[in-house]
A and B are shown apart, each in its own frame.
Chain A
Amino acid sequence: AQKVTQAQTEISVVEKEDVTLDCVYETRDTTYYLFWYKQPPSGELVFLIRRNSFDEQNEISGRYSWNFQKSTSSFNFTITASQVVDSAVYFCALKSLSSNTGKLIFGQGTTLQVKP
């Protein structure tokens, strides 16, 4: 069975604090993709990053960074120096390559509130 768990339901930080969103996944497949999406109050999910299971390199993009560790089945997301505009629901998702469709398995989402 495939599953994505985001144990943090809600996180509240003060602006400029760093915050890490946790994501743990389960899959029997050796080849898969992991995604992070952001859902602002407008409702639309915005793509942030995609990583494949072969590439365990950490990645940094501006204030965002991602830590992928296959050994612990985790794909955590860190926002450095958070801003009010970062307030949103963040989803981690898994796509197995044994599936020939674009179906994503989503975690429950983490609501991030950044206070001024």
Chain B
Amino acid sequence: DGGITQSPKYLFRKEGQNVTLSCEQNLNHDAMYWYRQDPGQGLRLIYYSQIVNDFQKGDIAEGYSVSREKKESFPLTVTSAQKNPTAFYLCASSPSGSRAEKLFFGSGTQLSVL
């Protein structure tokens, strides 16, 4: 079945440590996105990529980095510069990134600080 796979489901970060969240899709979608969800808040866009080897900052990119070396993969690294990383992270994709398309979401990664 086609879909978006995020791993791990739960992740713990120590102070000063970088951690990487995995996002893989087999939907053959060009566009991929990372959103952050905090309790009682909506989703906020961290980074997005509309094509391989290209990505743009979203609304809250500070303290995060991404890469898009393959169409199916869009990993997110939470760096030590992100002082409040505890949140639920959702990866999404869409066929071409055009304005009318709906997003398809993964099941998320819960990141917590030890």
Contacts and interface: CB of A to CB of B under 8 A. Distances in A.
Q: Which of A47, A91, A101 has the most CB of B within 10 A?
A: A101
B40 A9 contact: yes
Interface in B46-84: 48, 50, 56, 58
A108 B98 contact: no
A37 B102 CA distance: 10
Nearest to A44: B107
How many chain A residues sit at the interface, stated as a range, is 20 to 34
Nearest to B43: A106
A102 B58 contact: no
Nearest to A32: B99
B108 A44 contact: yes
A44 B35 CA distance: 12
A47 B103 contact: yes
B31 A102 contact: yes
Contacts of B92: 45
A28 interface: no
Nearest to A107: B42
A108 B42 contact: yes
A109 B44 CA distance: 12
A71 interface: no
Contacts of A9: 40
Nearest to B109: A43
B99 A95 contact: yes
Interface of A: 4, 6, 9, 33, 35, 37, 42-47, 50, 52, 91, 93, 95-97, 99-109
Given A43-B90, A101-B99, A102-B98, 11 more contacts: A33-B99, A43-B88, A44-B108, A47-B102, A47-B103, A100-B97, A100-B98, A103-B33, A103-B45, A106-B44, A109-B42
12 contacts: A33-B99, A43-B88, A93-B42, A95-B100, A100-B97, A101-B31, A102-B31, A102-B103, A103-B58, A104-B45, A109-B41, A109-B42
Among all A-B residue pairs, the 5 with the closest Cβ atoms: A106-B42, A43-B108, A45-B105, A44-B107, A106-B43
